[in-house]
Amino acid sequence: MSEKKHTQGHVPLPVEAGQEATVKSLHEYWQADALWDSDGTEMPESLVETGCDIYSTICLVRADQDFADSHPEYLHRKYLMSFPVNALDSVVEIVLLSGYSREKYQLDEDSPASIWWEVRDRTTNTIVDMSDWDVDFTSGSVRIRNTQAYHEYTISFLVRQIWDTDDVHGVYDPLESSDALSFFTAGEQLVYNDISVRSDAPVLVLICGTTRQLSVSDPEQNRSVVTLDIAWGQETSRISVPLPSGAERGESIMMQW
């Protein structure tokens, strides 16, 4: 039987801070030809001494936060999609980061929205012409004109990632981690996972996790608006949900905050 010979393989071996001994062992066993600084911080000196190629990753949101804060143009970009909003009239305004953590993302103002963003009518699955929408970075919203009543609209947009994805798991927001469905009459209060909702009318409320949407079904006739008071932690919000004229009994209206 011939002796098996080991040759150097084309393997970039990821490095984990504090796991130098394990990395060295794997490097020798696999005969890796390169080490990859997957932490995006600093390569341990003991691993540099292996003499193999080093692939370095610059991860601004981990290694040099001061530089990242001063130079947001160098932050990683990511595409997000706004949560769907139903038009009730010919104009719809969508708050882009509604439902997303503003500690983690900020709108990318450097990449022209007219080139890199997309507004879509989800009901007809068509792209809305750029002449029918514009962006207000001050309010963080997009205003869409010439919309069709009851059609659903979304926006695909670019954000800067200002907080590393792996480091955001410890942030708890009950509005992003709950699912509740409850019917309650006027003045009664729904409390679920630290969220309380009070309505001025008999309604059916659906709090559906990260979408932060409410599905309101108002069985009363001749009512134009349903008011909801929502509280979670130290935050409070009052929402007025407009009902379309001539709404049928039990008709469901989708909205978001």
Q: What angle do CA 69, 72, 76 make, to 5 degrees?
A: 115
The model carries a pTM of 0.52
User: How many Å apart are CA 92 and CA 247, to the nearest integer?
Assistant: 19
User: How many Å apart are CA 212 and CA 178, to the nearest integer?
Assistant: 10
Mean pLDDT by 10 residues, the chain (257 residues): 58 77 81 73 72 70 70 86 89 88 87 95 95 94 94 94 62 40 47 63 53 48 69 70 58 49
Place of tokens 């708890």: 172
Beta bridge partners of 210: none
Q: What is the mean pLDDT of the chain?
A: 73
207-246: pLDDT as tens digits:
544 444 444 554 455 667 777 777 766 667 777 766 666 5
Question: What pLDDT sits at residue 116?
Answer: 95
Q: Are 75 and 61 in contact (CB under 8 A)?
A: yes
User: How many Å apart are CA 225 and CA 199, to the nearest integer?
Assistant: 11
User: How many Å apart are CA 216 and CA 202, to the nearest integer?
Assistant: 9
Question: What pLDDT sits at residue 115?
Answer: 94
